[in-house]
Amino acid sequence: MRPCFQPLALLAAIFVVLCASCSGSHGRESTLVLTGSSTVAPLAAEIGKRFETLHPGVRVNVQTGGSSRGIADARSGLNDIGTVSRPLTPDESDLRSFTIARDGICMIVHRSNPVAELTDRQVLQIYTGEITDWSSVGGSESRITVVNKAEGRATLDLFLHYFRLDSSAIKAHVIIGDNEQGIKTVAGNPDAIGYVSIGAADYDATHGVPIKLLPMNGVPATIENVRSGKFPLARPLNLVTDREPAGLARQFIDFARSRAVADLIAKLYFVPVAP
């Protein structure tokens, strides 16, 4: 006689397999993938952690790669939400954009550099190779190391647009990716100049990193001046989707635009846009 528990064991095994299958599917459905801007990434990650605490079982996966990746991945379905640290262009009108904060872009030099300010024309001349020595702009006699952003970075796009430059006109000595790489490069080279997010630069400068933020057009590079609209080179930090967001993506975007994360935005030296 066969043991009577075998059918029950078989049913139990089938139940376990089905549960595992359902669990895997649920896990995929509960993972929210964000890709794109390295400026937005730290903020998105902090917002993601808080979102996860309010939504048990949900995981927010934030990846960098530049704003161009955020756009491309949103269009190809490789992310749920793209992160883009600039306004969308006319040829990106197929995408939906949601601003979660504002940021400024400023020039930075080493803290030991005696230069306190540069005019827009001087910055232009430095980046196109017309000025190559700090002594030409009131500094010590030493050759300038020009640090530029890599192609595909929103910070580069805004820099080029503001100074009415073509990328090919820039005579760079060092090409960097994210803000922290740019800050480390300038902090490690007393003759370097670069441009990065005011939020990232302000945070590092006030935490012992030897860099100095330069004003633009006489306006100090501060969060307060970005908030008031006085700083001339500012930008929105956006979440983008290829269609009207729904479900988990909609919930995350609404949460990221709410007062519930205003403290996280301020903590990372950005300007909240929530009323």
| pLDDT bracket for residue 57 (50, 70, 90) | very high
| pLDDT per position as a tens digit, 221-261 | 998 899 888 999 998 999 999 999 999 999 999 999 999 99
Strand, helix or coil for residue 238: strand
CA–CA separation, 43 and 268 (whole Å): 7
pTM of the model as a whole: 0.71
| pLDDT per position as a tens digit, 130-183 | 999 999 999 999 999 999 999 878 788 889 989 999 999 999 999 998 888 999
Catalogue all structural domains in the chain, each as residue range(s) with its CATH number: 6-102+235-272 (3.40.190.10), 104-228 (3.40.190.10)
Q: What is the mean pLDDT of residues 204-216?
A: 96
The answer to whether 237 and 37 are in contact (CB under 8 A) is: yes
Identify the pLDDT of residue 44. 97
Q: What is the mean pLDDT of residues 86-111?
A: 95
| pLDDT per position as a tens digit, 16-44 | 334 333 333 334 458 999 999 988 999 99
Identify the pLDDT of residue 158. 86
CA–CA separation, 130 and 122 (whole Å): 9
Identify the pLDDT of residue 275. 65
| pLDDT per position as a tens digit, 58-68 | 999 999 999 99
Q: What is the mean pLDDT of residues 64-88?
A: 95
Q: Give the helix/strand (H/E) hosting 176.
A: strand 174-176
CA–CA separation, 118 and 267 (whole Å): 29
> 101 — phi, psi (to 5°)?
-170, 175
Residue 186 confidence (pLDDT) above 90: yes
Helices and strands: H and E segment counts in the chain: 10, 10
Query: Which string of b and e fits 226-257 if b means at least 16 CB within 10 Å?
Result: bbeeebebbbbbbbbbbeebeebbebbbebbb
Identify the pLDDT of residue 21. 38
With vertex at residue 152, the alpha carbon angle to CA 147 and CA 155, rounded to the nearest 5 degrees, is 55
